Amino acid sequence: MTAIATVPSTTVAMENPWHNAQRQFDQAAELIHLESGLRAVLREVKRQLIVSFPVKMDDGSVRVFEGYRVQHNMARGPAKGGIRYHQGVTLDEVKALAMWMTWKCAIAGLPFGGAKGGIVVDPKKLSEGELERMTRRYATEISVIIGPEYDIPAPDVNTSPKIMAWIMDTISMEHGFSIPAVVTGKPLSVGGSQGRNAATGRGVMFVALEVCTRLGIDPKSSTVAIQGFGNAGSIAARLMAAQGFTVVAVSDSSGAIHSAAGLDVDRLIAHKKSTGSVTGFPGASVIAAHEVLEVQCDVLVPAALENQVTSENAARIQARLVLEAANGPITPDADILLEQRGITVVPDVLANAGGVTVSYFEWVQDLQSFFWDEDEINARLEKVMHRAFTEVWDMSKQHGVSLRQGAYFLAIDRVAEATTDRGIYP
């Protein structure tokens, strides 16, 4: 989905996410005077695996898919990051997402480094059997670098608990015993965690309440627009509505809708589940996909893909607060423009850290074979998100910088410290 309907898709493609991620790092590293050797280490990925593998299709033909697994940094612990299935996946996108995961884990105080994976595919065009065979073959191909002590994948765009179960089972079959901690985001029946499915959206809600308190914004008199009504976006919408926010616009891959009076989020979720789309929801008007970013609202939640708010449309953003539920939805140039306009942006490495936090809880539970109930999970998540937000907020105020810069200062310092303390081997 492009940010502006009238702009050709190539305009968005020109925004290379890896270059954006490196630029964000370079800006923060310069401001904190990071030593040149550490800069050189942290601005590159540690390991990148490209795999091409055959899959037998339902009609008997063989199709070759390309996939990736990238590990950015592992100084603080095993690599952690999702796997996405999307026709637009590129190696540079996966590298950027891996770097962002490193910072996200450091900000949340988790003993992980950053990783990411993906397959270039439109999963909607595959049967379930084809999807399973592709997943299992991909899992086998990347098995050389994943494992509970090395790199722990999780769901991301167009992947699910079922897909994580296939990966876990594939790795387990190759070893001859069950290894539930090899992935997170699994079904409860095979070692998943209570609260994992809602974790990213719940984390967004916790951050929304934190920043609104500090900015003097009353949730009960605030409107919200959400781009992307998948897992993170729909759950954030539901939980924010429960806190008093009025959701006035949402979009998904099929279209966008708006209602100034507010949308009944529970009914909308049911509508999408039954029809596959947010469009056609009773009482809402259809708007262009790009307009969900530009409607009049107090809080904007980009929860789709990267490069959605750019220098082309940043001037048309009307929200006073933006919560990045997606990874990299705002380009560096747009970030500057929003800051100049006085719009507060809570960066992705903080705003959507709820997912990886509960993934960490799942990993810990799998390793010890001792599981917590959902109330305990949610309480632990709220504690982590509160601490992370407070530390980022305080850092930004201490140095007089944006929340993104404050988050990067915190994350880079923690990863640099671990890298320095470990030294260079041999």
Confidence at residue 12, expressed as pLDDT on a 0 to 100 scale: 40
8 has a pLDDT exceeding 90: no
Domains of the chain: total: 2
Catalytic residue positions?
Answer: 116
* Cα 222 from Cα 1, distance rounded (Å): 26
Contacts of 310 (CB under 8 A, 6+ apart): 3, 4, 11, 12, 15, 331, 333, 334
* Cα 303 from Cα 401, distance rounded (Å): 24
* Cα 99 from Cα 119, distance rounded (Å): 18
Residue 326 in domain: yes
Residue 75 in domain: yes
Asked if residue 306 and residue 233 are part of one domain, the reply reads yes
Residue-wise pLDDT for 242-292, tens only, equals 999 999 999 998 999 999 999 999 999 999 999 999 999 999 999 999 999
Asked if residue 311 and residue 203 are part of one domain, the reply reads yes
For 93, what's the count of Cα atoms within 13 Å in the CB-facing half-sphere? 25
Asked if residue 148 and residue 261 are part of one domain, the reply reads no
pTM of the model: 0.93
Report percent pLDDT > 90 for the chain. 94
Residue 398 in domain: no
389 has a pLDDT exceeding 90: yes
Asked if residue 239 and residue 172 are part of one domain, the reply reads no
Confidence at residue 79, expressed as pLDDT on a 0 to 100 scale: 98
Confidence at residue 322, expressed as pLDDT on a 0 to 100 scale: 98
Asked if residue 259 and residue 180 are part of one domain, the reply reads no
The domain containing residue 177 runs over which residues?
A: 46-190
Asked if residue 280 and residue 172 are part of one domain, the reply reads no
Asked if residue 338 and residue 216 are part of one domain, the reply reads yes
* Cα 47 from Cα 72, distance rounded (Å): 7
